[in-house]
Structure 1
């Protein structure tokens, strides 16, 4: 026996061919799996992933609801438009009513003023009629009395001479001579000749002296038409039932009988 027969060999024991083949097959399978997995990973990394979201299908009920909502919106808009038209119409009606009310007030005021003017004119006519009756009665005064009251002397004669000298001159509103006059302008100028200063307008001249009765007139008295203090016309009594005055634009300065236009009253300043 060899001296090495009992010593174990350091060589590894040989494996059987079947064991080697099985291990090789396992290793190859693992490598194939890894290769396939790597290839799939690389492919997944190269292509982006797209996610598809499916929208719900528009059903018949949903379509009907959408249509109803649109109809409701349209109806609401129509209601708003109708309300706006009604509001505009109401505002226009209110404005027109206000204008009509203002016009009605103006007409009522105008009627009131016209009625007042008519009442005043009627009162003045009544006063004239009463004075006309008085003048008619005074016409029966005796001739001796009339003669004595018709004779003008002194300042009265000067006033009468002045107004008679202006007969035929024109009537001009606001006229104070020397060739055109209004009623109060002529009277004022006549009395200025004898040093008497009278107010300019007929209203003031009708209260410038002592009130006298139309049945007791004297030459040189100032006659007035209308109420004392608000007379609208004046003239000078020249005696014998006559007066001289600047009547109107068509007549000018004229001499007329008292019956032509009976005065309302008279004042005496001489």
Structure 2
């Protein structure tokens, strides 16, 4: 036995011939396959080029981020501006509507005040005309007022004069059913108002008025007597005898308050209350 027999060898063990042959065969098969594929490829096939993806740099990312932040800030600022303008427009519209409402209320108030003042002025004017007509009628009435009746020569004095003057002052006023003045009357409304001038309260309707006082004949009338048409307890129309064969009454809507002769529409009878 040699002296080196116990030292192991550092050489790699040789591969077996079978293993080498197997590997050679595999390699050959692979190269053959590559060769066949190359031969089968079209002659004019373009060579495959490599595509290189360019990755964004850090500087470009910072620029994009700054641009996005700036755009967002501008959008927020524009939205805030739009909201502010919308709020201002709404406030302006509300103020304009409020001012218009206030102006309309003021105009309506002035119109009502002017209307009321005009009505008061017209009322004062009517009262003045009525007073003038009453005074004129009272002062112009005299003993010369005579007619066919035997009592016509009597002068209206005191309460009768006030009644006659008031009745004549309403000549020309309108006839309105149920009217009690001051510018429109029905027949009994006028008689009632005339007698109120003498401090006498009469019933409202003609049938009740003709039932008051004492019955007198048409030949013995005195100024202030009440004339009636129909029966005494069921008269449908009344008027006031003013002397001189004349009477004043609220006749109908077409004539209004008129002064007429007894011959124009002869009454059925008369009553004396004074």
TM range (shorter): 0.3 to 0.5
TM-score when normalising by structure 2: 0.45
- Structure ranking higher in helix proportion: 1
Structure with the larger RCO, 1 or 2 (CA within 8 Å, 6+ apart): 1
